[in-house]
Structure 1
Amino acid sequence: MVREPAVAGAFYDARAATLAAEVDGWLSAGAAPAPALAVMVPHAGYVYSGAVAGATFARVALPARVIVLGPNHTGLGHAGAALWPAGAWRTPLGSVPVDPELTAALAAAPGVAADRLAHLREHSLEVEVPFLQRARPDVALAALCLGPLSFAACEALGTAVGAAARAAGALVVASSDMSHYLPAAEARRRDLRALDRLLALDAEGLYDVVRREGITMCGIVPATVMLVAARALGATGAELVRYAHSGEVSGDDDAVVGYAGVVVR
């Protein structure tokens, strides 16, 4: 049961050697890695967000087991928390095994259902996998694709994710972009409102400000679940590694997408 790449050649290079060199370059540009409990990284095409994701992963001494949480952009499959059930995830760099024990622990969490359909065309988890492969070649993962959950559902799931991560010594990875298609200054203003709550480790405050102010942060549910899990793991602080937007690459500041990389320790 292999999850084949859906966006290789579109969001990132489909040539293994080129992809490895690009990812290695971004990973080598960061500070010395240190243990962490969780991260939030963007999931756009690498030309736009690869440097932010790489700088963030570079700050982390990646463990051998990772839980990846991403939003469901396609609307396919289970509307709650869709769990890839077994097998491996393939990229042009090779295959990453699905961790059976970690996946079984998540399968028992509230609102989780084994479902491949939600994952088949979804890019938000796939684009993180090459970074995991290059940072830790022996990495294994468990993958949840998340629909539009209430805060109460995020809290229940995050508690279970935290327990599973603690038992496995796993890093929790939330995949999210920030504001979409706003002028650069307005996107930054709105994004900093959300990031203020995220850096305060305030899961409910993050969820509420994004909903109340209409901040188009597509991975609000994964980020909220990640924060709940991190607090359950004993998190004491978070660091904004880098903030950027698509206009820095395209030259168009009139309608940008924001990207942020955060490490929680």
Structure 2
Amino acid sequence: MWPVMAIVLFLLCILGLPGPAQAAPVVCPPGNENFPPFYDDATLFKDAIASVANVPLSNQRLTGITVPHHLLAADLVALGFQAASGFRYKRIVILSPDHFHKTHMLYATTLRGFDTVLGPVAADGDAVRLLEAHGDMVEESCLFDKEHGVRAMLPFLHHYFPEAKIVPVAMSVKAKRGDWDRLAEALKAIVDRDTLIVESTDFSHYLPQHESRLFDQQTLNMLAAGSLEGIAALRQPDHADSVGALYIQTRLQRELFGAQPLVVANENSQEHTSDYVERTTSYVVALFGAFGPGFNNPARPKDSIYYLAGDVNFGRAMRKILVRDGVADRIVDSVLALTGSRPLIVNLEGVILPNVPEAIDDMTLAMPQDLAASMLKRLHVAGVSLANNHAYDLGPSGYAETLRALDEAGIPHFGQGETLALAGLDLVGLTDIDTNGSRNTDLLTPALLDRLLHENAERPVVAFVHWGREYKTEPSPREEMLAGEMRLRGASVIVGGHPHVSSEAIVPLAGGDVAEVYSLGNFLFDQSAERSSGSMLELRVFPQGTIFTRLIPLPNYFEMGRK
């Protein structure tokens, strides 16, 4: 009978579970033979592959993926490879932690191939030799005989990319940011358009799920922001078992391909059992690409995806272009191509009326009910925020007319301090600016900010806030203070509007606790591109209550309609 520790180590090695930093001695195969199979049963891999067979392949070429190596989440490994499998690759670079501290240098690789339960995988000898030329930091090693960070990838790799050759890289925990930068530079000689970079990383380790969720959200926000500084500051293993792999992946994707990350899965090992687990592991699946128009945005049915867009008004000059033949159709088609007809939430600026008086002045925003209701429905709008400085342009009676029209159309709405409850997500409308024409500002009091405090801490809260100064893309000290107060009240994401110009990036606040987009700018509003800009924010909500955000630049739909 095996000793208990031997059984534990065997299970840790086979399943890729976190455990003591030790393993059986490294054994090199004789001569130049392949490493023998690490797993004996192909069923686990075949079942995982079958479980994601209906997930759409990315219709745009991916340049990298991030997947777990803990085979409790084998379906997530398959998900990442499945998404990338619509295209062919000559070479796959695998970045893995050196779990058992077997490399004598900072990094290890190998010229040997591998046999797996699904078939052989060959090493890219020329690429490996180029890497091994950096002999002061990279060594040839047989540690891959037992390194599950690489071995767990290989059956999937053989299935999805049987013709590809690999460059495995095991990374020592001793490597620091300067060392990661050196490896990234060395990899640039290997990585080209025919290369897929596979980052084999498990994320938060050794924490109960409720704590792991907080660390996961910080990691997701740093990824969404593309912040190398923020990623380098993540803690190992609280955030990930290889912060270096995450850093190198992000840097290479940005510098070689101009690629951005899209996280399509985030879950925790606690989700795989009904029993309480004291020490968990969390998982992320990320796709890297230059996602342009027409991207089909693969998604799992279990995750919820919403889009937030900025200022909308169907009156004034916008009304005149929307009634032209074909204009509304072109705009709707363009928006739905970005959202995939998923739910959209917008900031509705102005009053909806059955009939808009001709004599109304230009700074009083009003729009015809039939046009507004039709466009909102066609765009799959699931909610409109009325927490802005134009909702009361015609006083309380005009606001009541707007509510009546939205209710009649079946379109949910939320005003100052009110919550829009969506599946897995709460949005709270807030405005710091009073009705147009009023000089009243600084409306957000502690009592209003307290509306962000919700009893169910598992449901993420998003603040959809109207603030700032027109045509300014940077927050003032007032907005910085408000963002800090929103963070302290548990907001996961802060999304702003009013400036009519869009922020260019997602900003992580307080070490990644919150993702902030200061302004989404305009969505459907009668201002030219010379004066204004707009973006849409994708929110992907995972069942454990974390959110990944993605900022999508928008064309100027007003100018599109005038052409």
- Structures share fold, TM-score greater than 0.5: yes
Structure 1 residue 4 corresponds to structure 2 residue 29: no
Cα offset for 1:108? 2.9
Structure 1 range deviating more: 181-190 or 30-39 = 30-39
Is 2:68 aligned against 1:68?
no
- The question of 1:144 aligning with 2:169 is answered yes
Of 278, 283, 288 in structure 2, the residue corresponding to residue 254 of structure 1 is: 278
Quick check: 1:77 aligned with 2:100?
no
2-side partners of 1:202 and 1:225: how far apart? Answer: 12
Does 2:261 correspond to 1:235? no
Report how far residue 112 of structure 1 moved: 3.7
- Which aligned pairs between 1:11-30 and structure 2 lie closer than 5 A? 14-16=40-42, 18-19=43-44, 21-30=46-55
Q: Aligned to 2:234, what secondary structure does the other structure show?
A: helix
Shift of 1:21: 2.4
Q: Which moved more, 1:173-182 or 1:54-63?
A: 54-63
Cα pair 1:194 1:210 within 8 Å, conserved: no
In structure 2, distance between residues paired with 1:114 and 1:195: 32
Query: How much does 1:57 deviate?
Result: 1.6
Q: Assess, with a 3 A threshold, how the Cα gap between structure 1 residues 202 and 219 changes in structure 2: closer, same or farther.
A: same
Quote the residue 1:96 is aligned against.
121
User: Structure 1, unaligned stretches of length 5 or more?
Assistant: 9-13
Match of 1:36 among 62, 85, 89: 62
Maintained 8 Å contact 2:105/2:138? no
Question: Which segment drifts farther, 178-187 or 200-209?
Answer: 200-209
Q: Residue type matched to 2:37 in 1?
A: P
2:75 is equivalent to residue 51 of structure 1: yes
- Matches of residues 180-199 of structure 1 in structure 2 within 5 Å? 180-199=205-224
Query: Per-residue deviation at 1:163?
Result: 3.3
Larger displacement relative to structure 2 (151-160 or 192-201): 192-201
Query: Which residue in 2 is equivalent to 1:114?
Result: 139
User: How far did 1:181 drift?
Assistant: 2.2
Indicate how the Cα distance of structure 1 residues 177 and 111 shifts in structure 2: closer, same or farther if over 3 A, else same: farther
* RMSD, matched Cα: 2.0
Question: For the Cα contact (< 8 Å) 1:200–1:237, is it kept in 2?
Answer: no
Matched, 1:153 2:173: no
Alpha-carbon shift at residue 210 of structure 1 (Å): 2.5
Measure, in 1, the Cα distance between the counterparts of 2:134 and 2:105: 15
Partner of 2:369: none
Check whether the contact 2:114–2:121 (CA below 8 A) recurs between aligned residues. yes
Per-residue Cα deviation, 1:44-91 (whole angstroms, up to 9, x for no partner): 02xx2112111122211351310011001111132311011x231111
Residue 124 of structure 1, CA deviation: 0.5
- Contact 2:103 / 2:172 at 8 angstroms: preserved in 1? no
Superposed CA offset, 1:179-233 (max 9, x none): 112121210110121122123332332121336xx62411212111212221221
Pairing 1:124–2:156 present? no
The whole-number CA distance in structure 1 between the counterparts of 2:141 and 2:155 is 20
Mark the CA change 1:109 to 1:193 in structure 2 (over 3 Å): closer, same or farther.
farther
Task: Report the CA distance shift for 1:236/1:21 in structure 2 as closer, same or farther (over 3 A).
Answer: closer
- Check conservation: 1:163, 1:232, Cα contact below 8 A: no
Amino acid of the residue matched to residue 156 of structure 2?
F
With CA pairs under 8 Å and 6+ residues apart, which has the higher RCO, 1 or 2? 1
Gaps of 5+ in 2: 1-31, 290-563
2:106 partner amino acid: G
Mark the structure with the bigger radius of gyration: 2
* Shift, 1:27, TM fit: 4.2
Q: How far apart are the structure 2 equivalents of 1:133 and 1:42?
A: 17
Q: Measure, in 2, the Cα distance between the counterparts of 1:258 and 1:110.
A: 34
Identity across aligned pairs (percent)? 21
185, 193, 208: which is aligned to 2:233? 208
If the length of structure 2 is used for normalisation, what is the TM-score?
A: 0.43
Aligned with 1:223: secondary structure? Answer: helix
Quote the Cα distance in structure 1 between the aligned partners of 2:201 and 2:136. 21
Aligned partners of 1:170, 1:109: CA distance in 2, in Å? 20
